[in-house]
Amino acid sequence: MKLQRFVFGLFSLLISIYAEAQKKVEGPLIHGYGETFAVPQPDLAVDTEADYKVVFDIANAPEDPGKLNPYFNTVARFLNMHAHAGIEKSKLQPVLVVHGSAAFGLLKNKFYKEQFGVDNPNLELLNTLHKLKIPVILCGQTAGAREISVEKRWGKTQLALSAMTALIQYQNMDYALISF
């Protein structure tokens, strides 16, 4: 009987540890987006003194235009998880370089609705990223090919000659590349 209680107690402890490790957390930098999983004791320690300069190469959009682009949301996840890990916001320096089908996520709501029949689900997150001073750069070649004029674009979009050019320039400034 004691062995059964011991085994049951050990099993319960392991379940609670697993449940804690699988707990989703929100914020602290971006609320409503970018939920992450708690990782209480990672084997690879997080360097809280390092600068986390990263350029996100975002080329894809979800098949359902009514859904948030998960790759835009990944930037929110990046910010939230590293802030939870104790890294100051000033050390978190993401940049989004957007091209391909993902570029339509940068349309103003009126033009997004004309094209897809639904409101642009990305604008609230994009506005939040802008408030945190995170650049969102659109490939000029994609803008031309997909007829995304300045009048149609979300107002805080920056335009580059090309996604290739922007990615090279940021990597030359020691930004790590994360590509989707």
For the chain, domains (ranges, CATH) are 2-179 (3.40.1260.10)
Backbone angles phi, psi at 158, to 5 degrees: -100, 145
Q: What is the pLDDT of residues 44-83, one digit of tens each?
A: 999 999 999 999 999 999 999 999 999 999 999 999 999 9
Q: Between helices 70-84 and 123-131, what is the axis angle to 10°?
A: 40
Report whether the peptide linkage leading into residue 65 is cis, meaning its omega lies within 30 degrees of zero: no
Q: In whole angstroms, what separates CA 111 from the centre of its chain?
A: 23
Cα–Cα distance between 37 and 79 in angstroms, integer? 13
Q: What is the pLDDT of residues 79-138, one digit of tens each?
A: 999 999 999 999 999 999 999 999 999 999 999 999 999 999 999 999 999 999 999 999
Residues 6+ apart with CB under 8 A from 161: 140, 141
Residue type, 105: G
Q: What is the pTM of this model?
A: 0.87
Q: What is the pLDDT of residues 125-159, one digit of tens each?
A: 999 999 999 999 999 999 999 999 999 999 999 99
